[in-house]
Each structure stands twice: as structure tokens, then as C-alpha cells.
């Protein structure tokens, strides 16, 4: 391919990109039928049919993954319906869902939809197994990465594959997704884990309801593409800022736990501790997370920068205690990054 041809292609994409970013999302005529993501939706339906399930959740395009509260429908990101929009999404956010990731998320959302379609959360046995459905959601939670009371399915920044611990509704959805996934080997993989009782419960519950009609709960589409009248460029402007704030808030909150407010004339800066322990921390982060040294160093640098920006300090004589806390925090962030491939903020 000649340099002239390459230049022409680049110019052509820049023109298309400019036009799309300055278009209203509702004017892009996006549809699930015939889109690149439709085969994944059909695959989900086939997997549910293979389990003998009569119910198939309605799927629609919106601004992100999710099921509206207690409504048995699945919302998927609009950009997955158009290869050009998927390319822009990757340029803007640094990532795009591949086929495997799409199926992982579809199975999870299908768990929510099944729960809502049959109102399973109302059953005393469901609450006994997963917890109170009406428990408030927490934007930030502290997962136990070593717990065997929950399945490990999707990975979500900054929690890694511990999302089932966020809420009883998420616990059920994750358990359902593992049960639904073909060749997941859940009976073998989790045979010695306490979470096996949840998997067996879901297995029995699905056999009970799979041929039943749903209870016809209210169906609601939240922010369907036809109602998204903002420009595509504005969508990314708001989205990027939201991600930045969320990621920084998480890291800052964890650092404040490690270095709580202290008073005294001889306080030492926390950022200096990161620099002093860099080699030691780097060795442990790489060992426990299996990240490359370059990736691990980026995480440590992020912690150092934020500790310096917040002017965090610690008392002399507490260095040993703080070392253990810093190692735990750095490794937790590294494990999250290893699962998600993202380090934002």
C-alpha cells in the first residue's frame, strides 16, 4: 500500500470520526438487528434454550451495560451495534469488549433478568441463600479476594472478579452466569468451595421454573438510544470525567485508610515511603499479581503521586506497620489491573 493511499485512508477515517462525534446518538439509526453484536445475543438465547429455559430477555441498546431495576430486560452499549462507533469507543476509553467479554456480561445480565422476570428475590429461600434483595447498594465496597463464598465471573474495575460480593442481586446474577456458561465446569471447579450450595440452589431453581411463564413484571427501557439526544462527543466528555472521578476516589480513599490524619512535628511524608520502598514493593507486586515490572511500577507511581498530592503523612516508628498496609494496597490494585487491564484516574 502506497503512502498516498494510507494518507487518504487516514483522512477518510478522520472525516467519518468527526461527523459521528458531532452527531446526536438518537440520529445514528442504531439497531440491534443486523448489528455486529446480534450474534452474541442469539448465542445467549441458544445457551438458555440448551438449559431448557422458556424465558428469553428482551435486549435493547442504551448507554451502557445493565438491567433497569426489577425490569427483565438487558441494556447493552450502543457502540457495539456499529463497528465505527466501537472504534471511537476504543479510541476514547482505551478498551472495547471482545466477543468473550460480551458473552460474560450478557450471561451476568441474563441472571438479573431471570431474577426480575420470575421475581425470585421474593422467595424466602432466595433471601436465605443470597441475602436481602432490598439491601442498599454501595458504590464502594471492600471485597475479600480470597473468599470462597462467591463465584468468580466478571471482572469490574476496581474490584477484580469479586463483583458477586457487592450485593445479593449481583451475587445471584454472577452465580447464574457461571451456571449458564457452557463447559464452565462449575461442579468440578467449585466442588470444595462453600459457594457450591449457591450453584446447586440455582441449578434446582432453574429446573423448577424453566418451563413456566414469567410473572409479567413491568418492562422498562432506561435511556434507549432513541431518547439519547446528546452529541456523541458530549457523551464521551461526560463519561471520561465520570470514570476519572470514580477511579481517583477509590485510590484516594484507600490511601487515606493506610495513612490516616496524624499530628506532630516529626511527621514523615507518605510519598517518601513509596520511594524508599520502591524495589521491595515492586518485587512483591510482580510476585503476587504476575504483572510485568513496567505495569507494577506504574501502579506504585500512581500511589506515590496521589499520596504526595494529598500530603499524607505517618508517624516515625510506624514504618513497619505502614509497609504491610502499602504492600496489601499495591497488590490489591495490581490484582484488579491484572483482571481488568485498566489503570485509570
Range of the domain at 292: 232-340
Is residue 6 in a domain?
no
- The whole-model pTM stands at 0.70
pLDDT value, residue 242: 57
Residue 170's contacts (CB-CB under 8 Å, 6 or more residues apart) are 163, 164
For the segment 44-68, the average pLDDT, to the nearest whole number, is 95
Count of the separate structural domains present in the chain: 2
Q: What is the per-residue pLDDT for 345? A: 38
Q: What is the pLDDT of residue 324?
A: 78
Q: Do 222 and 236 reside in the same domain of the chain?
A: no
- Whether 170 and 84 map to the same domain: the answer is yes
- Asked if 180 and 309 sit in the same domain, the reply is no
Cβ contact 238:93 at 8 Å? no
Whether residue 194 has pLDDT greater than 70? yes
Is pLDDT above 50 for 328? Answer: yes
Between 8 and 214, the more confident residue is 214
pLDDT of residue 286: 78
Do 245 and 103 lie in one domain? The reply is no
Mean pLDDT of 49-58: 96
Looking at the structure, do residues 196 and 64 belong to the same domain, yes or no?
Answer: yes
Within-domain flag for 256: yes
pLDDT tens digits for range 243-278: 545 555 567 777 888 888 877 778 888 888 888 888
**Cα–Cα distance measured from residue 91 to residue 187, given in angstroms and rounded to the nearest whole number:** 40
Q: Residue 24: name the closest of 223, 234, 238 by CA.
A: 234
Give the mean pLDDT of 120-137: 93
pLDDT of residue 13: 82
- Do residue 172 and residue 36 come from a single domain? yes
State which of 226, 258, 288 marks the end of a domain: 226
Q: For the chain, give the percent of residues with pLDDT over 70.
A: 87
In this prediction, residue 189 carries a pLDDT of: 95
DSSP, residue by residue, 149-207 = SS-----BTTTBS-GGGS-HHHHHHHHHHHHHSTT--HHHHTTTSTTHHHHHHHHHHHH
Amino acid at each position: 500500500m502506497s503512502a498516498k493511499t494510507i494518507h487518504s485512508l487516514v483522512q477518510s477515517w478522520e472525516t467519518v470520526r468527526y461527523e459521528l462525534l458531532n452527531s446526536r446518538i438518537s440520529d445514528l439509526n442504531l439497531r440491534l438487528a443486523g448489528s455486529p453484536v446480534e450474534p452474541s445475543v442469539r448465542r445467549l438465547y441458544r445457551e438458555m434454550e440448551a438449559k431448557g429455559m422458556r424465558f428469553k430477555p428482551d435486549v435493547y441498546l442504551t448507554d451502557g451495560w445493565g438491567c433497569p431495576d426489577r425490569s427483565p430486560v438487558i441494556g447493552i452499549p450502543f457502540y457495539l451495534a456499529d463497528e465505527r462507533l466501537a472504534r471511537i469507543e476504543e479510541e476514547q476509553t482505551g478498551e472495547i469488549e471482545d466477543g468473550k467479554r460480551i458473552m460474560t456480561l450478557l450471561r451476568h445480565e441474563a441472571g438479573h433478568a431471570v431474577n426480575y422476570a420470575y421475581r425470585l428475590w421474593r422467595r424466602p429461600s432466595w433471601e436465605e441463600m443470597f441475602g436481602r434483595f432490598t439491601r442498599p447498594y454501595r458504590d464502594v465496597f471492600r471485597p475479600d479476594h480470597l473468599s470462597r463464598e462467591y463465584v468468580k465471573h466478571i471482572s469490574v474495575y476496581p474490584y477484580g472478579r469479586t463483583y458477586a460480593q457487592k450485593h445479593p442481586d449481583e451475587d445471584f446474577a454472577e452465580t447464574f452466569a457461571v451456571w449458564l456458561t457452557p463447559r464452565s465446569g462449575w461442579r468440578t471447579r467449585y466442588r470444595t468451595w462453600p459457594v457450591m450450595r449457591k450453584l446447586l440452589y440455582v441449578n434446582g431453581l432453574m429446573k423448577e421454573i424453566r418451563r413456566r411463564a414469567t410473572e409479567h413484571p413491568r418492562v422498562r427501557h432506561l435511556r434507549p438510544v432513541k431518547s439519547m439526544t446528546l452529541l456523541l462527543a458530549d457523551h464521551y466528555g461526560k463519561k471520561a470525567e465520570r470514570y476519572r472521578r470514580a477511579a481517583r476516589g477509590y485510590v484516594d480513599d484507600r490511601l487515606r485508610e493506610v495513612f490516616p490524619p496524624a499530628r506532630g512535628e516529626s511527621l514523615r511524608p507518605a510519598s517518601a515511603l513509596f520511594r524508599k520502598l520502591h524495589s521491595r514493593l515492586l518485587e512483591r507486586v510482580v510476585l503476587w499479581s504476575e504483572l510485568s515490572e513496567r505495569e507494577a511500577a506504574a501502579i506504585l507511581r500512581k500511589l506515590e503521586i496521589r499520596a504526595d498530592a494529598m500530603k499524607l503523612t505517618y508517624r516515625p516508628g510506624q514504618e513497619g506497620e505502614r509497609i504491610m498496609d502499602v504492600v496489601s494496597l499495591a497488590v490489591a490494585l495490581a490484582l484488579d489491573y491484572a483482571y481488568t487491564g485498566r489503570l485509570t484516574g
